[in-house]
Amino acid sequence: ELEWRVEIGEPFAAPTVSEKNIVVTTNSGKIIQLDSANGEIEKSAQLPRQEERLEGGTIIANTGAMVATRDSYIYQTGYADNLYVISSEDYLCKEVYYLGHAPGSIAIPPLAWQSYIIVCINGGDFCDLLVLQGKNGKNLKPIQMFRIADGPVTTPIQRFGRWMLVNSDNGQLKILELSPNSDSAP
């Protein structure tokens, strides 16, 4: 039976779900935290209006948020250019990291692993994997970048233990080992 319903009122990306809450990112750049028990809005934030005007409206964000479990931050890619680090406690933006990605080239939320943030950036017929490292979730800096696939990646990365599964749209399937002991190539 239906437990609760909430009207978001605009298009949004796939939500991030945990036992306690649900985080929804709208195309207009609103990040909304809902209580998973009753659907009430607990917190919200608005990404800066670095907007891309497209047919059918304005897009500021096109992917869901990644809520880190190791630190108290939400990592949200913008439709273009930036990765936003938002405190999950007060929903204030704590850092904006310039990725410089083309509009719509990031199709999936980032992945957090230990002190690393992993971002897939699509080109026309390829996908590059960018590994960022931060101190206590912020002060991000690039550690590693390499071509992960000869096609775009639009399916979220699956992580199991120290392994990461990446599936590209052209049928490539790659499994990577995550290695925290390698500072330059984790």
Q: How far is CA 153 from CA 1, 20, 109, in A?
A: 35, 29, 11
pTM above 0.85, yes or no: yes
- Among residues 28, 30, 32, 29, the alpha carbon closest in space to that of 58 is found at 28
CA torsion through residues 99, 102, 103, 104, sign: negative
Q: What is the pLDDT along the chain (186 residues), one digit of tens a residue?
A: 999 999 999 999 999 998 889 999 999 999 999 999 999 999 999 998 755 555 556 789 999 999 988 889 999 999 999 999 999 999 999 999 999 999 999 999 999 988 899 999 999 899 999 999 988 878 999 999 999 999 999 999 999 989 999 999 999 999 999 987 877 788
Sheet with 111-113, strands from edge to edge, namely 111-113, 116-122, 127-135, 138-149
- One-character DSSP codes across 98-114: E--PPTT---S--EEET
CA torsion through residues 168, 174, 15, 107, sign: negative
Which pLDDT score is estimated for 138?
85
Q: Which two tokens stand for residue 33?
A: 């935290």
- Among residues 132, 130, 136, 13, the alpha carbon closest in space to that of 70 is found at 136
The single-letter DSSP state of residue 150 is S
Is the separation of the CB atoms in 78 and 50 below 8 Å? yes
Is the separation of the CB atoms in 94 and 86 below 8 Å? yes
N- to C-terminal Cα separation, the chain: 45
Which pLDDT score is estimated for 53?
52
